[in-house]
Amino acid sequence: MGKTADTPMMVQYHEIKKQYPDAFVFYRLGDFYELFEDDAVLGAKLLELTLTARNKNAENPVPMAGIPHHAAQNYIDILVDQGYKVAIVEQMEDPAVAQGMVKRDVVQLITPGTKMLGGAGNDKQNNYLAAILPDDQRFSLSYIDLSTGELKVTTIKRFEDVIDELRSLEVKEVVLLKNDEQTITLQLANQLGEEGLVVSTQESAEANATVSFLTKGLANASEASVTALLLNYLFDTQRRNLEHIVPAESYERLAYLKFNQDTRTNLDLVENARTHKKSGSLLGLIDETKTAMGGRLLKQWLLKPLRDIDDINHRLDVVSAFQSAFFVRGALQDHLKSVYDLERLAARAAMGTMNPRELVQLKRSLSAIPGMKSVLAEGDIILSSAGGELDAMADLAGLIDEAIVDDPPVSVREGDLINTGFDSKIDDYRRVLTENQQWLAQLETDERATTGINTLKVKYNKNFGFFIEVSRANVAKLPEGRYERRQTLTNAERFVTPELKEHESLINEAQLKRAEREYELFVTVRERVKANINRLQTLARQVARLDVLASLADVADSHRFVRPTFTNDNVIDIKQGRHPVVESLLATGEFVANDVLLDQDTSMQLITGPNMAGKSTYMRELALIVMLAQMGSFVPADSAVLPVFDQIFTRIGANDDMAMGQSTFMVEMAEANLALQEATAHSLILFDELGRGTATYDGMALAQAIIEYLDAHVHAKTLFSTHYHELTALANQHASIVNVHVGAVEDEAGKLHFLHQIQVGPADKSYGIHVAALAGLPETLIANATNILSGLEQGSITSQPTSETPASQQVALFNVDAVDQNTEKLLAKLDQITIATMTPLDALNLLADLKKLRS
C-alpha cells in the first residue's frame, strides 16, 4: 500500500521544511510549537520531550512533539547552544477568521551566531557571527554581535590567522558565499567545521540600500563585499528591523599587540586553562566593572592591547585621574550600578522586542546620567571633560517617566502600562471601569438585601464573564423571572440579569479599548527610543569606557599596581614585578617579586634553575605586565619601563596535539618556527625549555641553534628557560645574551628550598633528584638515583656510547647478556609502537600481545 497522502497542513509544513533542511522547524499550532518527523524524534531526545504521533492509527503515523509557546525560548536556547538552527514558524492570520488553511511563514531563523545573549551569566559576553570571503590569496573577515549592533571588518593574509581571530572572538557560526566556486567554499567549510564552527551559506554579497549605508565608510572593496555578505545573511534570517547595527568599522590587526590562541591559553588571559572558568584568569582578576557593556569592553581591550603610545597614555591618564580621585570614582561607580545594558536595550527597541519593563530599565539608566555628570565635574579636567560629553537624554527619560508606570507587566497587550494622566482616552476608559467595578460591588450588596441571601456573590471568569452565584440551598429564595440561569454546578447555580449583562458589555468594551490604546501609546514610546538609537549607542560606549577605566583604577589600588612608562629605547626595566593572578591566590606578602632587566644591549635572558622553582611564573608575569600596560592598565610592579611590543610569542607547557598526530616535539618546533619567521626586533618571545620533546643531544643542538638564530637575525626581547646547563656557555660567546637563574638552597639535611628569586648568572646544578624527592618518589629510588648521578659525575659510570656501540643508541637500561629471547621480542615490539596514531582498541590489543610475550 502506498504512502498516505499528506494533509494540507503537512503539505504546508513540508514546503517550509524544504527551505530550512538544516534547522529544527518550530511550527505554530495554537498555543504550541510542534516538531514533526525527524525533527520530533531528535528534538524529543535532545529536549527530553514526550514523543507522540499524529494520526496514530494510520499505517505511517507522523512523529510529533510539542512545546508550549510561552516556554519556547528555553528550548530554543538548548538547541542553539548545541550548534543547531531553529526556524520559527508563526500563524500569519487569525485562525478564527482564516479562509481555509491558516497562512504560516518563518518569521526568524535563530542560529548559534544570531542568538541574542543577555541576562545573568552571559551579560558580559559577546556573541559574534562572522563571514569570510577569500580574495586573491587574502581573506576578508567581517563580524557582528547582533545583540549590540557592533560591526567590524578586517583583511588577513593567512588562513591560520583567520582561524586565530575567530578563536579570539569566540565565534560560533561563519557565513560563506554560495557561488560557482564550490570547491573553495567546500574546502573552507571543511576547515571551519574541523574547528567546531557552524557553517552557513548566503547566495549574495551584493549591497542593497541598507547594506550600502552600513558599508559606505569602507574603502576596501573586498571588505565591503564580505560585510554585505554578512548583512544579507542577517536580513534574510532575522526578517525584522535591525536599525541598531552601526556602520562597519575597518581595523588593522597590526594596530594591536598580536598573540595567538596558544598564548591566550598559556597565560590564562580570559579563562583558567584548567577549569575553563573566568575565575583564576587575568580577566577574572581585573574585572571590577559595574555594567554589562563595560565588562564586554574590558575583555575586548584585554584581547587587543594597543600599539599607539598616545592612545595607551590617554587611557593611562584617565586611570591616573580616577586613582587620584577616590571619592569621585566611588560615587561614579554607585551610579553605574543603576545602569542597565544600554547597548542591548537599544537593539531590542530597534527589533521591536523591547517590553515595558525594559523601557523602565532604560529610564532608570538614563536617570543615573545626571548624577554621573555631577560627580565627574568634581574631578580634574580629564574627568570633568568626560562627564561633560555625556548626553543625559532628559527628553527620552522624561517621556518614559511620564508615560510608563514604574512597575509594568511584561505583557504589552493586556494594559496597565500607561500612567494615569498621560492620555485622556485611557483615563476615560479607566473611569468607566472604575464606575462599573463600583456598580458591581453595589449590585452584590443590593442583591443580598433584596433576596436575603447573605452568601450571594458577584463573580467573574474568562469563560462565562460576570455572573451571580447562589448556593443550591438558596436558589428558591430568588424572585421569579428576574434571573437568567447561566451555569449549574454541584453545589451552586450561576445567573445573570439584563443589567449585569449591560454593565459587562461596558466593562469589556472599556477594557479592550483601553488595552488597545495603551499598546498603541507603548509602541509610540518605543518608536521614540528607536529614533534615538544613535544617541543611546554613543552614550553606551562612553559609559562603558568610563566603567572600564574606573575599574582599572580600582584594581590598581587593591592590588598595588603602578603606572608603566613607555620608552623608544627598547629597554625592559621592571622593578619587583609580580604575577597578578598567582599573587592573588597566595597570602599577603608570600609572593616573591622579581626584577626584569633587558637593556638596549641585551636581547635575551637564558634562564636556568630547578623545575618548580618559578621559571615559568617569571616568564608569564612579564607577558602579563606587557599586555596590561598596552591595554592601558597599571601593572603589578614597583615600577615598569617598557617598549611598545608588536607581537608576543610563547612556548610554555607541553600542549601536545595527539588528536592531530603531533608530538610534543612537533608542537614545539611548529611554535618555535612561527616566532622565528614572524618575530621582529619589537617582539617579545617566551620559550620555556624548548627542545625537551626529543633526545637529549638533538634537543640541546636545536635549542642552541634557535638561540643563536634569534641573536643573529631576530633581535627580539627573549626569555629562554632551559634545563640544558651546557647552553649557559653561550652568554660568554654572545654579548646580547645574559644568564640568570632561579635561586635554590640546600639545608644541612640536603633538603632543597626554592627561593623563587631570579639571580644573575647560571644555576650551579640541576637539582633534578631533589625535585623528584619533593614529588614523593620512593626513598630507595631517590637513593639509587643519587648513587648513579655520583658515579656519572666521577666517571665510574659513563653515559657516552662505547666504540662497540652505535652512536645513536642511548644508555642501556638492561644487562644485555641477561636478556632472554622473549624479552628481545618484547623490546622489538615496543620499538615498533607509534603512540600518537594508536586508538584505544589498538592499545588494548597491544597490551594483550605484550602479556603473551611476557608469559
Residue positions forming the annotated binding site for ATP: 609-616
Q: What is the pLDDT of residue 244?
A: 94
Q: What is the pLDDT of residue 669?
A: 83
Q: What is the pLDDT of residue 289?
A: 98
Ranges of each domain in the chain: 8-110, 128-251, 287-393+532-559, 424-526, 566-575+590-774, 816-854
Mean pLDDT in residue range 310-330:
97
Confidence bin at 851 (pLDDT 50/70/90):
low
Of 3.30.420.110, 3.20.20.140, 3.30.470.20, 3.30.70.270, which CATH number belongs to 128-251? 3.30.420.110
User: Does 287-393+532-559 match 8-110 at the fold level?
Assistant: no
- Between 769 and 679, where is the model more confident? 679
Q: Which of 18, 67, 70 is CA-nearest to residue 43?
A: 67
Confidence bin at 833 (pLDDT 50/70/90):
low
Q: What is the largest CA-CA distance in the chain?
A: 128
Q: Which of 507, 516, 509 is CA-nearest to residue 413?
A: 516
Q: What is the pLDDT of residue 819?
A: 47
CATH 3.30.1540.10 fits domain 8-110: no
Which range has the worst mean pLDDT, 234-243, 316-325, 572-581, 697-706?
Answer: 697-706
Residues 8 and 59: their CA atoms lie apart, in Å, by 18
Q: What is the DSSP string of 402-427?
A: HHB-SS--S-SSSS--BPTTS-HHHH
Count how many Cα atoms sit within 13 Å of the Cα of residue 323 in the half-sphere of its side chain: 20
Of 1.25.50.10, 3.40.718.10, 1.10.760.10, 1.10.1420.10, which CATH number belongs to 287-393+532-559? 1.10.1420.10
Cross-strand partners of 657: 662
In this model, does residue 166 exceed pLDDT 90? yes
| Highest mean pLDDT pick, 616-620, 779-783, 840-844 | 616-620
Q: What is the pLDDT of residue 61?
A: 86
Percentages helix, strand, coil for the chain, rounded to the nearest 5? 45, 20, 35
Q: What is the pLDDT of residue 141?
A: 97
Q: What is the pLDDT of residue 818?
A: 44
In this model, does residue 643 exceed pLDDT 50? yes
- Containing H/E element for 226? helix 221-238
Which range has the worst mean pLDDT, 40-54, 107-121, 439-453?
Answer: 107-121
Q: Which of 554, 558, 574, 557 is CA-nearest to residue 566?
A: 574
In this model, does residue 734 exceed pLDDT 90? yes
Of 3.40.50.300, 1.10.10.10, 3.40.190.10, 1.10.1420.10, which CATH number belongs to 424-526? 1.10.1420.10
Confidence bin at 274 (pLDDT 50/70/90):
confident
- Given a contact cutoff of 8 angstroms between Cβ atoms, the answer to whether 150 and 144 are in contact is yes
Main-chain dihedrals φ then ψ at residue 239, nearest 5 degrees: 55, 45
In this model, does residue 294 exceed pLDDT 70? yes
Residue-wise over 736-773: b if at least 16 C-beta within 10 A, else e?
bbbbbbbbbeeeeeeebebebbbeeebbeebbebbbeb
pLDDT tens digits for range 775-832: 667 878 767 776 766 675 566 554 444 434 343 344 444 444 444 566 666 666 666 6
| Highest mean pLDDT pick, 372-386, 402-416, 466-480, 835-849 | 372-386
Q: What is the pLDDT of residue 803?
A: 39
Average pLDDT, the chain: 88
pLDDT tens digits for range 1-18: 445 567 889 999 999 999
Residue positions forming the annotated binding site: 609-616
How is residue 416 written as a grid cell? 496597565
Q: What is the pLDDT of residue 689?
A: 83
Please give the model's pTM, rounded to 2 decimal places: 0.85
Mean pLDDT in residue range 398-403:
97
Residues 159 and 351: their CA atoms lie apart, in Å, by 34
Mean pLDDT in residue range 195-210:
92
In this model, does residue 523 exceed pLDDT 80? yes
Q: Residue 837, Cβ neighbours under 10 Å: how many?
A: 9
Which range has the worst mean pLDDT, 127-141, 464-478, 722-736, 786-800?
Answer: 786-800
In this model, does residue 506 exceed pLDDT 60? yes
- Given a contact cutoff of 8 angstroms between Cβ atoms, the answer to whether 164 and 261 are in contact is yes
Mean pLDDT in residue range 60-66:
90
Cross-strand partners of 131: 142, 175
Residues 795 and 683: their CA atoms lie apart, in Å, by 44
- CATH architecture of structural domain 566-575+590-774: 3-Layer(aba) Sandwich (3.40)
- Cα distances from 684 to residues 258, 259, 439, 571, 708, in angstroms, run 10, 10, 83, 12, 16
Q: What is the pLDDT of residue 80?
A: 95
